[in-house]
Each structure stands twice: as C-alpha cells, then as structure tokens.
Structure 1
Amino acid sequence: MSFFNDDFERDGSRISDYYKNEAQFLIDKICEKQDRKKLHPDLLKIYNPDKEYFIYQMIYEEYLDCFYPYYHDLKDEVANAKHQKESEAKFMKHYKDTYRHIDMKRYSLDEISLFGSIDKSRAVEPKGLKKRLAVIDAYLAHQLVTVRDLMPNTLVNQWAVNNDFIEKSTQVVDDMIRQESKKLEELDVFRLSQREKMRRYYETYNFEVNEEILDAIERNCPELFTRYDE
C-alpha cells in the first residue's frame, strides 16, 4: 500500500526515492502492528489493495479483443503502457462526456500497475489488466444503476415537486386575480358614487349660478322684467 505517488513534493522540491522508500517502510511497519479487527470496513479495503475482482468473462474477452493489438511488443513496456493509457483514456472519455457529475477519483486507473508478470496462458496479457477492467466495469455498473434506478426516482420526485410548485403558483395567481377583481369592483362602486355625488353638485351649482344671473339681470335691467310682466 503506497502512500506516495511519483509527483509527491514538499516546499516545491521533489522528494528523493530514498526518503520516500524509508517513509513507506516505516508506514508499512506500523500498519502491520495495527489491529485490523477494529478498523472500519472501508479502511480495511485500503490494507488489501491486491484483492481479486470478479469480472464477467465475456466482458473481459471483449476488452482484450478491443485492445489486443497494443500488447504485441512485450519488450517495449513503455510504448505498450502509453498505448494502453491512450486507449483507456478514449474509452473513459466517451462515458465521461455522456454521463457527467461523477467523482472520477473513484474510477482512477493511474494507481493500477499495468505491467508486472505475464500470464503464460495468454501470450500478451498484462497483470493489471483485470484490475483496470474491474474499475471500468464498476464505472459502467454505476452508470447502469444511475439510469435504471436513480433517474426514474429523480424524475418522479421532480415531477412531484413540479406539480406541487405549479399547484402553489396557481393558487397564488388565483388569489391575486380575486384580489384584483375585488379592487375593480370597489373601484366601480366608488366611481358610481362619485358620479352621483358630482351630478347632484352640478345640478345645485347650475341652479345657483342661474339664479345669480337672473338676479343680476333684474338689478341691472329691471325694464326687461317690467315689459315681460306687462
């Protein structure tokens, strides 16, 4: 179980392999003395990184057939590792682009060594291939669970939330319509009352003005009224 990667640095300087190996040795020594029975199950998995993975043989064979040409030259491990990494990067990129919002650290292939020993039953089959395929299979299984189980539940829940939101929004709009309708009715009542009030005021004012005009004519032109009386 390695606690250091190749890019481990301190204060901007790369730590030498000697000190990393010494530190790793001390860590492993302490871990051996640890009582693992009291550890959390997830932590126990860290202590046993080389456990076997179950992979469907058909998927495994299909994966080998897909990337088999990259393992033809076993002498050039660097070139083979590069081809393997590029191929798996393309393989994973397709699913990253298709299914986003996934923590890819859980499906990292960088910590799994591809080359080590070769299985003689198959001329070109790197040791870490099954482990890499296991990670990819776990990734695809995650997508299957997401599409099959999570998405339907999410859609149902979202549909319920949308219905509740629409129902409440409709209620708010209906309340606003009722309030505005009531205001319009009150405005109509007020308008009618003001019109009646102004009508009476106009009639009174018109009568008074006419009376004042007649009085003024009578005072200034009494002969008009005398002739009229005759």
Structure 2
Amino acid sequence: MSNDAYGMVIDSLPFIDGVDDHYKAQIEREIERELLTFTLDRLHKDIDSLIGDTQPLRFDQSLYELYCEKAAKYSNISITTEQPPSLKRSLEDVVEQRKRVCPGIDIARYDEHLAESVEHLSTIAGYLRHQELVLERLLPKTVEKQWMINNDYMQHAQEALKNVVVAEKAKLKDLDQYRKSLQQQEQLSFAYLEQQWEDALVRNLETDI
C-alpha cells in the first residue's frame, strides 16, 4: 500500500480478492528462495540493542593469561599454551600496563626457595595453605554462584525477548486488522470500478466489430 499525488494506491487486496492456488504456491516458492539468501548469523539490531542494555559479567582474557603466567612461574603447575608471537606480545603489554597502574603484592616473598629463616618458611607455608583452602572450599561456592548469576541473566534476557516477540506479533495482528477493514470499506468502490472497466471493454469490442 502506498500514497501518490492522486491519493491512496492499494496494490494488494488479499482480503477481498480471490487468488488461484497455483499463484499462491508460486509466491511461496519465491519467498522461500529469497529467504535462503538472507544472512542469519547475527541478531536483529533491535534485539541486539535490547541485550546490550544489561551487560553480563565478561571473561577477562588478559587477566586470565596473567594468572596462568604467574601460576606457572611460582608453582609446580605446568601450563602449556601455544600462542602466536603477536598475541603473546600484546598480552605482555597488557601485563606491563597493569603492573604500572597497580604493582600489586610482591609474591617473591612467598617462594619457598628464597626462604631465609624458619619464620619466613612458616609464613610461606601458611600462605600456601590459605590458598589451598580458598581453592578447595571457596572457589566451588564462587563458581556455583557465578553460574546462578549467569543463569538469572539469561532467564531475564529470554523473557525480555519473548516480550518483544509478543509485542511485534500484536502489532502485525493490528496491521492485518487495519488492512482488512480498509479493504472491506473500499470493496464496493473496487467492484464499481471493475464493472466500469468491463463495460468499457465491451463497448470497445462492439465498436471494433
């Protein structure tokens, strides 16, 4: 449906015109063929903006790499990660930037190989035991809560998307009702114009004969 200088132009009348099933099937095939060319690997911009309103907790890759580096350096854990040189350099730059902003704790004092006395070694053992308890008891609870938080976020995001779908379907239904009402109101006018066209066609044929 469109507007021009002479008024409203309706180019589709599905509610008052009958269409042959052959043409309907042909149209459906054309629609299916056209849909195959669409790219569906990204979200609709409205849905993308809706999800972007609430940001979930993001995984910090650079911080994780820093943890792996320190864990491999100051423990017996061997972590082997193959990285391209460019990525390794960029990660090293991130680590250096973080060190300049926040030097952090000098963990060299907790290295048992550098212990200068029994008291120093006892301090190191206490710290390592504390870390062990954190990993054994606190980390599982933290991970569980993190999963609960992420699940809650996904649930709310899903509900928001469902609301968007329901609202859009309601708009489409209202649009169809409006189109149906408009076409039914103009049905007599279309029938009158069609009859005039047929009468003019008959007169032209009679004149030619």
TM-score normalised per structure 2: 0.41
- Specify the structure having the higher radius of gyration (Cα): 1
TM-score normalised per structure 1: 0.38
Q: Which structure exhibits the higher relative contact order, with contacts defined as CA atoms closer than 8 Å and separated by 6 or more residues? A: 2
